[in-house]
Structure 1
């Protein structure tokens, strides 16, 4: 498995593997983080913290407990929630909002298309594509996706699972 080799390289401290990890997963992680912190500059900062934490703690990853992406998303969500709850976030968020009201600030966005993942996702059948885009690029929870698309939660779970399986086939 390609992912197993990537994990092995990460555990050996291979910087090229870290760059590959970033290219592959930063868009998905960023979307999740942005949904929670609701500030692009802050989401970019949190993404960097998450990537460093993954790098420093890769030895703690256990493939028996779940997939690498799930483990990284858990780290991203937990860090995002911590930042959101912190006083520093509240101060930074209000400061950014007041600046944006008086001055036009150029947006810096992580372009997920640069890694080509969005193009691959577009190849999925529409039902699977929608839930994958909402979950991984939009940072929606499965419950939120069910509400947004007006479909049962079980259907969302099935479509995510099947969509990821189909996406894996397209990537490999």
Structure 2
């Protein structure tokens, strides 16, 4: 059965089509979710939530707006980001330092991940303590700028400025 036919049957609430689509896409979607969460158990939970959303909202998909996989990918990415912003997920990750996340990146077997992570630890050490804290919260723990402001007890404008300055520092270091 062709994917277009499966999607049409899914939109008619055909459970067999749903099962087939789950089999086709669940592994890829899990990978996307896990790349955001770095937590297998939480990723499996979000994966299930994503496919429940797909079942509940399948009639909103239109091939005129884009490919099914892209639609599914956007649902998964948004669900994973929502999970990182949840209070329970943040509390679970609060005791972890940026060094923990750097080590995760450096130990991955994926080639693209290794390329992205080459030497990142030494660069983060060069940018200063204020930058470390901001980058840890915004990029490694998924905090919004407002949440980082509250966590560090500094004004939102200061977070925005530090974020921009820290990214510029990293760029300058990497260009050298």
TM-score range relative to shorter protein: 0.5 to 0.7
- Determine which structure has more spread, i.e. the larger CA radius of gyration: 2
Aligned residue runs from structure 1 range 22-101, under 5 A: 22-93=22-93
TM-score (norm 1): 0.54
Greater relative CO, 1 or 2 (CA 8 Å, sep 6+): 1
* 1:83-117 CA-partner distances (Å, limit 9, x unpaired): 1011121234469x8xxxxxxxxxxxxxxxxxxxx
- Residue 100 of structure 1: aligned partner: none
Give, in whole Å, the separation in 2 of the partners of 1:63 and 1:40.
Answer: 31
Give, in whole Å, the separation in 1 of the partners of 2:40 and 2:93.
Answer: 10
CA contact (8 A) 1:39 1:93 kept: no
TM-score (norm 2): 0.53
Give, in whole Å, the separation in 2 of the partners of 1:66 and 1:79.
Answer: 19
Aligned residue runs from structure 1 range 120-159, under 5 A: none
Give, in whole Å, the separation in 2 of the partners of 1:61 and 1:72.
Answer: 9
- Residue 8 of structure 1: aligned partner: 8
After superposition, the Cα gap between the structure-2 partners of 1:44 and 1:65, relative to the gap in structure 1 and judged at 3 Å, is same
Give, in whole Å, the separation in 2 of the partners of 1:13 and 1:59.
Answer: 9
- Residue 19 of structure 2: aligned partner: 19
Q: How many residues align?
A: 104
Give the CA RMSD over aligned residues: 2.7
Regions of 4+ moved over 2 Å: 91-95, 143-148
| Runs of 5+ unmatched residues, structure 1 | 98-137, 149-172
